[in-house]
Chains A and B, each alone.
Chain A
Amino acid sequence: MKVTGAQAIIKCLKEQGVEVIFGFPGGAVIDLYDELEKSDITHVLVRHEQAAVHAADAYGRVKGDVGVALVTSGPGATNTVTGIASAYMDSIPLVVFTGQVPTALIGNDAFQEVDIVGITRPCTKHNYLVKDANELVSIIREAFYIARTGRPGPVLIDLPKDVVNSKINFEEPTPIKMQTYRPTYEPHPGQIAKACKEILKAKKPVVYAGGGVIASNSNEDLTELATKLNMPVTMTLMGLGGFPGTHKLSMGMLGMHGTYYANMAVSQCDLLIAIGARFDDRVTGKIAAFAPYAKIIHVDIDPTSISKNVKVDIPIVADCKHALIAMNRWFDVQEDFKEKEQEEKTSPWIDEINDWKRKHPLGYVEEGDIIKPQYVVQKLHELTNGDAIISTEVGQNQMWAAQFYHFNLPRHFLTSGGLGVMGYGFPAAIGAQMAAPGRTIIDIAGDGSLQMNIQELATARQYKCPVKVAILNNNFLGMVRQWQELFYDKRYAATGLEVAPDFVKVAQAYGAVGLRATKVSEVVPVIKEALATDNTVFMDFVIAREEGVYPMVPAGKATTEMLLV
């Protein structure tokens, strides 16, 4: 069947099950937009291309599928780079379409021309410049396949204008077979047996779960393994929700702003079982002092993650779900394995951890009428029954959200973990709302981060996304200020936000609702009113200005050297 390139792209999107895409038009993609307008795919017009990518990222996370963004050439393309790099670091499946000048003009410094394939090469899983229209369809199919399989990631497709306008043959899809790309899903049975035997030997095991558990939808398998073997679980920022945060075996997050007990447990454990995590520097602190007494088992689908930062004793290259199922099954068929005995074996260890929990729980100091940010997050958790989808910006707001909103389910916590993008949370909330229309979506934000993509208020209003933004407003770039307080003699270089907008009025200017709380007694009423409002809401919580995030492991120190509340 002969179709235009633009028609072929729309047909491919339909074939991939795409219902919503996020984008911003321009000259190079005008023909594709014309075709998009005729289709039943919902297009969300953002107000800045970076937001399109963050929204697509969050949409994909909530749906458990590939997010799609579409932008024009030149500045449209370069504006997506931050969003793409964030998705790459967090292993989020995305397909980003960028317009490009006609093939004949490529390399001529044409108007709005940029080598976006060159620019994004280091921050995409793969990228394509479609030079031959006949390859368009197979490239799109391959791109979706690469984005969603293996360790997921963003794929960019650069579309020259003449390719989009050419007439091509549209052929029905055939199964994708790539000579050079075959991710390993099934674990090696020998390695599984080795790992399981090591687990049986351990007296002080710790499970360290990362984003891979969520990407592979293996939260239930993880819970089964941890409870079957009575092993405590700690999660990375990306892994939150991979194991129920309120479970008695949960130790919450580990690392720089992790809990006292998680960091202590890792420092004392005799076996560390890393599942879909990558030993990031924010998790390990000083490498030499990380899990010094432990044998390490590491399950990851990406071989480059294994033994990259920390030497691993038992590597298992596999999809986390397949590996966890195999481990669970291994224990199920062991005749001499008794859950009761195992429970008794690790219970002294669990008691030790519970002592740490009692000694230094997560907490904060109340200060009369002054609102503490942790209190706001606690109340958000309480009033949403822990059931909201939470996005965050980056910095203190992100850490308080991670510490005090105890996520019980995967795909409920959306944050820019690896790249740490200020401005991620608000567009992400919009993307999440498009994926889950009936759900409560809250962006836990800082006043600094929110201003990096505050223009998306228009998008939220246009698409009737009743997202709630909880601004923890301390009139500071708080995380950097905290470092300056602790390590730079309180010289607050460029972290005071001397001019700040009135967030209530900003919300109102866009036809959204603005609410403000300046004292503790106003927090709950504001949250209740926001949750009852069927509109976008900014909640401006004026919080203790110099509140810090604790525990804190200073950069480069051992994770046991925590500064506590």
Chain B
Amino acid sequence: MKHTISVLLQNKPGVLSRVTGLFSGRGFNIESLCVAETLDPGVSCLTLVTRGPDPIIEQITKQLHKLIDVIKVVDISESDYVEREMVLIRVKAEANTRAEVLRVIDIFRGKVVDVSPKSYAVEITGPRSKIKAVIDILKPIGIQEIVRTGTIAMARAKKF
């Protein structure tokens, strides 16, 4: 099962390597990883996506929690949450396909961020499934370069 785990950690040198070292050392897998500081520059938020049976996920969250620099660990996929990824795609856009590319981007509510005579660079955000759909559609037109972020995620607020 896929799990999205959110980790608050102290923003100190070497902390990321403690987290990744834990995963490699214990044979856990990381599908994606995203880190940046929070409102408090002393604290970073790390979102990681991993897969495994429940006992492994339990070990992962406990082991993360055991790291001295880790403040909080939440498996946010246990309840409702929103997740986003961003992708930058340079897609071939020649005379016969320029209009079609723009239409596709528009449908996915993407943005063109760089233009050249033969290509567009576009930015798309959304959950994983949407990113995959865009890529599948643009592939036949010709993707020249692609850069993706990992997933970031946030639990939904309680409705009542």
User: What chain B residues lie within 8 Å of A302 (beta carbons)?
Assistant: 66
- Asked whether, in the complex, the Cβ of A308 is within 8 Å of the Cβ of B59, the reply is yes
A381 to B14, CA, bound (A): 49
Contact string, B1-45, partner A, CB cutoff 8 A, digits 1/0? 000000000100110011001100100000000000000000000
- Complex contact A303–B21 (CB within 8 A): no
| Chain B residues numbered 40-59 whose CB sits less than 8 Å from any CB in chain A | 55, 58-59
Q: Is the CB of A307 within 8 A of B68?
A: no
Q: How far is the CA of A387 from the CA of B13 in the complex (A)?
A: 48
Whether B68 and A146, one on each chain, are in contact in the complex, defined by CB atoms closer than 8 angstroms, is: yes
Q: How large is the interface on B (under 10, 10 to 19, 20 to 34, 35 or more residues)?
A: 10 to 19
Min CB distance, A91 to chain B, in Å?
A: 13
Expressed in whole angstroms, the minimum distance between the Cβ of B13 and any Cβ of chain A is: 8
Chain A residue nearest in CB terms to B64: A304
User: B10–A180 contact, CB under 8 A?
Assistant: yes
CA A304 to CA B70, docked complex, whole Å:
15
B94-108 residues at the A interface, CB under 8 angstroms: none
Q: Does B63 contact A (CB under 8 A)?
A: yes
**In the complex, A304→B63 CA distance in Å?**
6
Is A528 an interface residue, CB under 8 A from the partner? no
Determine if B62 and A118 form an interchain contact, defined as CB atoms under 8 angstroms apart: no
Using known A-B contacts A122-B25, A304-B59, A304-B62, determine if residue A180 contacts B68 with beta carbons closer than 8 Å: yes
Q: Which residue of chain A has its CB nearest to the CB of B66?
A: A304
**Any chain A CB within 8 A of the CB of B138?**
no
Q: Is B71 among interface residues, defined by CB-CB distance under 8 A?
A: yes
B62, A180: Cβ atoms closer than 8 Å: no
Q: Which residues of chain A are near B18, meaning CB under 8 Å?
A: 121
Judge whether B75 is part of the interface by a CB distance below 8 angstroms.
no
- Which residues of A sit under 8 angstroms from B123, Cβ to Cβ? none
* List of A residues within 8 angstroms of B84 by Cβ: none
A interface footprint on B105-123 (CB within 8 Å = 1, 0 otherwise): 0000000000000000000
Residues of B within 8 A of A303 (CB): 62, 65-66
B69 contacts partner chain A, Cβ-Cβ < 8 Å: yes
Interface residues of A in 90-106 (CB under 8 A from B): none
User: Given A146-B68, A180-B10, A180-B68, are A122 and B58 neighbors across the interface (CB < 8 Å)?
Assistant: no
Q: A487 contacts the other chain (Cβ, under 8 Å)?
A: no
* Interface presence of A111 (CB below 8 A): no
Q: Within A116-146, which residues are at the interface with B (CB < 8 Å)?
A: 117-118, 121-122, 125-126, 129, 131, 146
A117 to B15, CA, bound (A): 12
Write the A220-259 contact mask toward B (1 if CB under 8 angstroms, else 0): 0000000000000000000000000000000000000000
B21 touches A121 (CB 8 A): yes
Distance in angstroms between the alpha carbons of A179 and B11 in the assembled complex: 13
Chain A neighbourhood of B59, CB < 8 A: 304, 308
Known contacts A121-B21, A122-B21, A122-B25; A180 and B58 CB within 8 A of each other: no
Total number of A residues with any Cβ neighbor in B under 8 Å: 19
Chain B residues, CB < 8 A from A179: 10, 71
Residues of A within 8 A of B66 (CB): 302-304
Determine the residue in chain B with the shortest Cβ distance to A146.
B68
Known: A304-B63, A308-B59. A117 touches B68 (CB 8 A): no
A118→B17 contact, CB < 8 A: yes
User: Is B63's CB under 8 angstroms from A121's CB?
Assistant: no
Interface string of A157-195 (1 = CB under 8 A from B): 000000000000000000000111100000000000000
Q: A304-B59, A307-B58 are in contact. Are A180 and B71 (CB under 8 A)?
A: yes
Q: Could you tell me the distance in whole angstroms from the C-beta of A516 to the nearest C-beta in chain B?
A: 45
A284 to chain B, nearest CB (A): 15
Give the residue among B17, B18, B55, B62 with the most A Cβ atoms within 10 A. Answer: B62
A120 to chain B, nearest CB (A): 11
A355 CB, nearest partner CB in chain B, Å: 37
Most chain B beta-carbon contacts within 10 A, residue among A118, A121, A125, A178: A121
A121 touching B17, Cβ below 8 Å: yes
Contact in complex: B70, A121 (CB < 8 Å):
no
Q: Which B residues are CB-close (under 8 A) to A125? A: 68
Q: Which 7 pairs between the two chains have the least Cβ-Cβ distance? A: A304-B62, A126-B68, A122-B25, A303-B62, A180-B71, A181-B68, A304-B63
6 new A-B contacts at CB < 8 Å, known A129-B13, A307-B55: A121-B18, A131-B13, A180-B10, A180-B68, A304-B62, A304-B63
Binding site for B on A (CB under 8 A): 117-118, 121-122, 125-126, 129, 131, 146, 178-181, 302-304, 307-308, 311
Q: List 10 A-B contacts (CB under 8 A).
A: A121-B14, A121-B21, A122-B21, A129-B13, A131-B13, A180-B71, A302-B66, A303-B66, A304-B59, A304-B62
